[in-house]
Copies of this chain bind each other. A is one copy, B any other.
Amino acid sequence: MLYEHEVEFRVRYQETDAQGRAYHGNYVTWFEVGRVELLRAAGHDYKSLEADGVYLVVAELSCQFFAAAEFDDLIRVRTTTARSRGVRIENHYEVFRGETLLATGRSVVACVDNTGKVKPLPQWLRLSKK
């Protein structure tokens, strides 16, 4: 599995708020996009994962905001897998506009079956750091 991946997109008008910036909650969606694209770049797609009965649910989430994104800004999300073993994957995120770091984040997703019961990650999703 890849350790790092970047994805770019523009801030939608729908994502702005009355302060004239991207609403902070959207970064959570952008982290999700980062996770999904990291997985795709590793040759998998999350949709097939769910079709195989492997669901990843968010257990922990954090974000620090340093500068605002605005409508139409070209945003770059760098997603890194810090740890992936047992029943959990930990990802880190950096959100950039050009060279400016706007925000950093971290999430932990847990692997569950279709009843919500925690189960071990598939072997190929585990990360063995050397």
Contact = CB atoms under 8 A, between A and B. Distances in A.
A2 interface: no
Contact of A65 (B60, B70, B72): B60
A62 B59 contact: no
Interface residues on A, range: 35 or more
A101 B71 CA distance: 29
Contacts of A18: 13, 16-18, 20-21, 50, 70-71
B25 A12 contact: no
Given A13-B17, A14-B17, A32-B13, A57 B47 contact: no
A12 B37 CA distance: 11
Copies in the complex: 4
B63 A62 contact: yes
Contact of A61 (B13, B62, B116): B62
A57 B65 contact: yes
Contact of A68 (B13, B23, B32, B116): B116
Interface of A: 9, 12-14, 16-21, 23-26, 28-29, 32-33, 36, 45-47, 50, 55, 57-65, 68, 70-72, 116
